[in-house]
Structure formats: structure tokens, C-alpha cells
Amino acid sequence: MGTALGYSALWLAHGAPNAQVDTIESDPEHVRIARQHCIDYQMSNRVHIHHGDALTVLDGLDPNAYDLGFFDGLAPTPQLVSGLYQRLRTGGVLVCANLTLGPHNADDLLADPDAWLAHSFGETAIAVKR
Ligand SMILES: C[S@@+](CC[C@H](N)C(=O)[O-])C[C@H]1O[C@@H](n2cnc3c(N)ncnc32)[C@H](O)[C@@H]1O
């Protein structure tokens, strides 16, 4: 979740040559750039970019189906993390980045590029679905 330029989605697809990658992005310009990168690196057949809000898109993805979930949106919320977790198969791994951004100060940070660029996005959490 959080495609932006498609950088991490492309690396995941590169590292797992038999995998299909579903990735979610709400910003239309980011979707356009990421789709172009997938074309440039011949990954459009394995990297599927879903344009929309993550919670809505996640509703349409199969539950209990994915080996790996990766949160790289801006601020993780319990609903988003839970939505990703529900899509994992048992034994699937959830990686959640940007923990120190927090849902309450994300808007303030993003309004100030100097603060945003200097802020440590900090901790990443990893969980295995039981
Ligand atoms: C830190 S960037 C992701 C970087 C990306 N993983 C890459 O490799 O380029 C976060 C992205 O999450 C997107 N985003 C934030 N909240 C979202 C949401 N609720 N639904 C979909 N995309 C969201 C933002 O538009 C932004 O492009």
C-alpha cells in the first residue's frame, strides 16, 4: 500500500520472479508515473497498480491470499494495517513502515516540506499472521 513511483513494488516483483504484486495508490500523478515505470521495466504483467483509496481498494482484494503485505503509505492507521493483515494467508508477513509519522501529525508535517524532508519516518514493524 502506497505505490508512489512504483519503486518498492518493482523491487518486490524483481526479487520474487514468480510473484504477482498488487499495489495501491490514491494520487493520480503517482499512478501515472508508476505505470510508466512498470512499462519501462517490463513489469506491467506482474505489478498491478490499483488507483483509489487503500481502504476501498483493499475491500476488493481477496482475503487470506497474500504472502506479503507492505504498508508504505504516509501514516499507518489501525484500519489500514488491519485491512492489509486480513489479506494475508496464515504464515504471511506484514511489514509496516513509517510508524513514527503517526496519524495525528502527518498533515502538519506534509504541509511543511522542510519538516517533511528532515523528519525521521523511523520505525518499521514486522508481523507474521497466525
Ligand atoms: C512514502 S510514499 C510511498 C513510496 C513508494 N513505496 C515507492 O516505492 O515509491 C506514500 C504513498 O502513499 C500514498 N497514499 C497515502 N495514503 C493513501 C491511501 N489512503 N490510499 C492510497 N494511497 C495512499 C501517497 O499518495 C504516496 O504516494
pLDDT, one tens digit for every residue, the chain (130 residues): 999 999 999 999 999 999 999 999 999 999 999 999 999 999 999 999 999 999 999 999 999 999 999 999 988 889 999 999 999 999 999 999 888 765 556 677 777 777 666 666 668 899 999 9
Q: What is the pLDDT of residue 104?
A: 53
Q: What is the distance in A from the centroid of ligand 1 to the CA of 30?
A: 8
pLDDT at 124: 87
Distance CA(87)–CA(46), nearest Å, equals 18
Ligand 1 centre distance from Cα of residue 43 (Å)? 19
| Other Cβ atoms closer than 10 A to 91 | 9
Q: Which amino acid is at 121?
A: F
CA distance 3 to 26: 9
Instruction: For residue 118, give the C-alpha cell.
Output: 528532515
- Burial per residue of 65-82, b for 16 or more beta-carbon CB atoms within 10 angstroms, e otherwise: ebebbbbbbbbbbeebbe
Instruction: Answer yes or no: is the C-beta of 54 below 6 A from any ligand 1 atom.
Output: yes
Q: Is 14 in the pocket of ligand 1 (CB under 6 A)?
A: no
The per-residue pLDDT for 115 is 67
Task: Take residue 112 and report the three cell numbers written for it.
Answer: 511543511
Per-domain residue ranges for the chain? 1-61, 63-130
The alpha carbon of 71 and the centre of ligand 1 are apart by a number of angstroms equal to 9
pLDDT given for residue 112 in this prediction: 74
Which of 22, 25, 116 to mutate to test ligand 1, by most ligand atoms within 8 A of the CB atom? 25
User: What pLDDT, on a 0 to 100 scale, did the predictor assign at position 13?
Assistant: 98
Q: How far apart are CA 44 and CA 46, in angstroms?
A: 5
The amino acid at 64:
N
Check: CB of residue 27 under 8 Å from CB of residue 7: no
